[in-house]
Chains A and B, each alone.
Chain A
Amino acid sequence: MKMKLSQIIVALLMTVGLLVGLEIVTATLLPLFNWYDYRLTFHVLIIIFLAIRLDTPLTPWMILVLQLIHSAFSVEGWAIGTFAGIIILLSANYLKEVLHLTTALMTMITVQLFQIIWFVTVTTIICLKISDFSKFGMVLWSFVPGSFILSFIAPFLFWFLEKIWRGSSESSHGVGI
């Protein structure tokens, strides 16, 4: 099944809207309730979804767009996450035949696995940039609780994203998880 470019753009815009909403939750709403540590990095979840679910040459560019939006909310910038996104995309392409997100539990485990790949990639690059690997363990400590929460949220968010991307497709069947 193929999607028209216009359909992809509509779905991408909706995904960007969702990302902006979730970034505001992380950056503003949760800190108002004293949730400062263990940030929920929703952009990682969305990018993992795109990497696993879509099979289009445009996916890297979509990751770039999402990361550019994310860079307005974080000094991390767009580049490191885009690179990590490409690594996730390549990994997902190799593992696609064995990835069967048939249950919520499988989705959570898969998302946790890809979050670890993301974390290792991003943190290694940051440590290389600041020439200090002593912070790796501390960042790991802050990553673990947030990543578990994200993995629990993943089935719901994926269901929602599935609606967005399936709705843009002309087919009534869409994607089988």
Chain B
Amino acid sequence: MKLINESSKTKVVNNFIVGLLAVYGISQKSFHLDDPTLFEKIVTEVISPVQEGIVSSKQSISSLWDNYLMIVNTSKENELLHKQISRLESDISSMEEIRKENLRLKQLLNYSDELTHHKILAQVVGWDSANEFKVIRVNKGTRHGIRVMSSVITDQGLVGYVYRVTPNYADVLTILDQNNRVDVLVERTRTHGIVEGVFNFTCALKYVMRNEPVEVGDKLLTAGVGGIYPKGIKVGMVRDIAKENFGMTLNIEVVPSVDFDKLEEVLVLVPQQVEESK
């Protein structure tokens, strides 16, 4: 027995109308940038706090575990951390010198960096629920100054860019996603290429000619071309190079710098005009 019986004519009409709406929606859809509808904004704003709460609860439990049950390792870690701090302080000191030198040289060369960046710390509260997309949701939005196309990084390297944003949340298209293409430079050889998401937390470096001297272990940095990512951010490392008998380019497998398995906090870089920052 069926729950409901209605005329098949109405069914056909409804199927046709909704089907047409869907086709229109598909034609308007972009996987590179999205302006969420009012409905999507409302649903996201209502539901995401629940996601945030779950993440916070898990972190609280993990923190409790770390602080109380794993306390036996604390003194050893403390000693180790003290050594690391000493080393890092030394590094910071030398880096500061390099920074000042860099600043002087830039001024000397009349270097004009058009954009500076606001840095906004955000917490990851969820991942895209579809298999085809590698997108994360963070708990900061337009109210905190985030705009679409802002770069997202961690201390390890590049995460991706802001794909869509609501007042309190933003979706970030990671470099693991097949729709995200990052113009990169091989640090050692300065060879240009495009990094694309592949599958299973790996990426591919494309459009590198066969005669380029790229090697396994080479580091990849953002090239700063395209206006989304600032130059010089770590993207990944070459893990494997396949040279086939045909074709003009190399098949290069890249492992991202960022450990996406353990991604909890990210830094959103919002472009800002130099004039505004002054």
A77-B129 in contact given A58-B14, A63-B18, A141-B199 (Cβ < 8 Å): no
Q: Tell me the residues in window 1-27 of chain B with beta carbons closer than 8 Å to chain A beta carbons.
A: 1-7, 10-11, 13-15, 17-19, 21-26
Contact yes or no, B43 A72, CB < 8 A: yes
| Binary contact track A20-64/B, C-beta < 8 Å → 1, others 0 | 100110111101101011110101000000000111111111011
Given contacts A28-B54, A130-B31, A130-B178, A77 and B15 within 8 Å (CB-CB): no
Known contacts A32-B54, A75-B173, A141-B199; A60 and B14 CB within 8 A of each other: yes
B126 interface residue per 8 A CB criterion: yes
Query: Complex: how many Å from CA A89 to CA B15?
Result: 9
Query: Quick one: given A41-B130, A135-B178, are A83 and B2 in contact (CB under 8 Å)?
Result: no
Task: Check B14–A175 contact: CB distance below 8 A.
Answer: no
Kindly list chain B residues whose C-beta atoms are within 8 Å of the C-beta of A20.
47
Is B100's CB within 8 Å of the partner chain A?
A: no
B19 touches A83 (CB 8 A): yes
Contact present for B43 and A60 (CB under 8 Å): no
B129 and A73 contact, CB distance less than 8 A: yes
* A165 near B3: Cβ-Cβ < 8 Å: yes
> Are B47 and A24 touching (Cβ within 8 A)?
yes
Measured CA separation A63–B28 after assembly (Å)? 19
Say if the beta carbon of B114 comes within 8 Å of chain A.
Answer: no
B29, B55, B129 pick with most chain A CB within 10 angstroms? B129
Does B199 contact A138, Cβ atoms closer than 8 Å? yes
Q: Are A27 and B126 in contact (CB under 8 A)?
A: yes
CB atoms of B18 and A82 under 8 A apart:
yes
Q: Which of B25, B28, B54 touches A82 (beta carbons < 8 Å)?
A: B25
Q: Is A101 an interface residue (CB 8 A)?
A: no
Q: CA separation between A119 and B125, bound complex, in Å?
A: 27
B142 → A minimal CB distance (Å): 16
Question: Is there a chain A Cβ closer than 8 Å to B219's Cβ?
Answer: no
Are B25 and A56 closer than 8 Å at their CB atoms?
no
> By CB atoms of chain B within 10 A, which of A3, A75, A132, A143 has the most?
A75
Number of interface residues of A (CB under 8 A): 71
A1–B3 touching, CB < 8 Å = yes
Q: Are A75 and B135 in contact (CB under 8 A)?
A: yes
B133 touches A80 (CB 8 A): no
Residues of chain B contacted by A104 (CB below 8 angstroms): none
B112 an interface residue at 8 Å Cβ cutoff? no
Contact of A72 with B40 at beta-carbon distance under 8 Å, contacts A24-B54, A123-B132, A138-B199 already known: yes
Quick check: A60 and B25 within 8 Å, CB to CB? no
Checking A3, A82, A86, A138 against B4 with a beta-carbon cut-off of 8 angstroms, the contacting residue is: A3
Query: Total number of A-B contacts with CB less than 8 angstroms?
Result: 190
Q: Tell whether A146 pairs with B179 under 8 Å between CB atoms, given A28-B125, A56-B6, A130-B31.
A: no
Determine the distance from Cα of A40 to Cα of B261 in the docked complex, in whole angstroms.
18
Contact of A75 (CB < 8 Å), options: B3, B133, B261? B133
Residues of B near A80 (CB, < 8 A) are: 22, 25-26, 29
Which B residues touch A70, using CB under 8 A? 129
Instruction: Give 1 or 0 for each of B62-79: 1 = CB within 8 Å of chain A CB.
Output: 000000000000000000
A8, A57, A82: the one contacting B14 at CB < 8 Å is A57
**By the criterion CB–CB under 8 Å, are A169 and B3 in contact?**
yes
A169 to chain B, nearest CB (A): 6
What would 18 more interface pairs be, CB under 8 Å, given A41-B130, A74-B129?
A: A1-B4, A23-B47, A31-B127, A36-B127, A36-B260, A41-B129, A55-B4, A58-B4, A60-B14, A64-B21, A75-B133, A75-B171, A82-B18, A135-B178, A142-B199, A174-B3, A175-B2, A175-B3
| A-B residue pairs, 5 tightest by C-beta | A79-B25, A60-B18, A72-B43, A56-B4, A55-B2
Task: List 30 A-B residue pairs with CB atoms under 8 Å apart, sorted by A's residue number.
Answer: A27-B129, A27-B137, A28-B126, A31-B127, A36-B127, A36-B261, A38-B131, A41-B131, A57-B13, A60-B17, A60-B18, A61-B18, A64-B22, A68-B39, A71-B43, A72-B43, A73-B128, A74-B129, A74-B135, A75-B135, A76-B133, A80-B22, A80-B26, A82-B21, A83-B19, A89-B15, A126-B132, A135-B178, A138-B178, A174-B3
